[in-house]
């Protein structure tokens, strides 16, 4: 998989989070896992607003992260 297709999300960037989880991989998989994590571990509701907020937090994964 080309590096440019990989995304990551860092839970520490979520407002008021003290969690250190980072998820990386294909965008759709990262978003799905981030939603599951937010619901299961942080008590958020799985809503369109949560998914959109998480989507805005996705960034390109640095190439050296998966060499």
Q: Please give, one letter per residue, the 3-state secondary structure of 8-53.
A: EEEHHHCCCCCCCCEEEEEHHHHHHHHHHHHHHHHCCCCCHHHHHH
Q: What is the pLDDT of residue 1?
A: 45
Domain assignment present for residue 67? The answer is no
Each residue of 2-15: pLDDT tens digit? 555 899 999 988 77
| Number of domains, the chain | 1
Taking only the tens place, the pLDDT of each residue in 11-63 is 988 777 789 999 999 999 999 999 999 999 999 999 999 999 999 999 999 87
pLDDT at 64 over 90: no
Q: CB–CB of 7/56 below 8 Å?
A: no
Q: Domain for residue 43, yes or no?
A: yes
Q: Give the strand order in the sheet containing 22-26.
A: 22-26, 6-10, 59-60
For residue 46, give its domain range: 3-62
Inside any domain, residue 24: yes
pLDDT at 4: 58
pTM of the model as a whole? 0.82
């Amino acid at each position: 998989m080309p590096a440019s297709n990989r995304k990551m999300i860092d839970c520490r960037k979520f407002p008021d989070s003290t969690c250190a989880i980072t998820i990386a991989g294909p965008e759709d998989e990262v978003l799905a896992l981030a939603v599951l994590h937010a619901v299961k571990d942080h008590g958020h509701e799985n809503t369109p607003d949560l998914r959109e907020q998480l989507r805005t937090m996705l960034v390109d994964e640095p190439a050296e992260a998966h060499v």
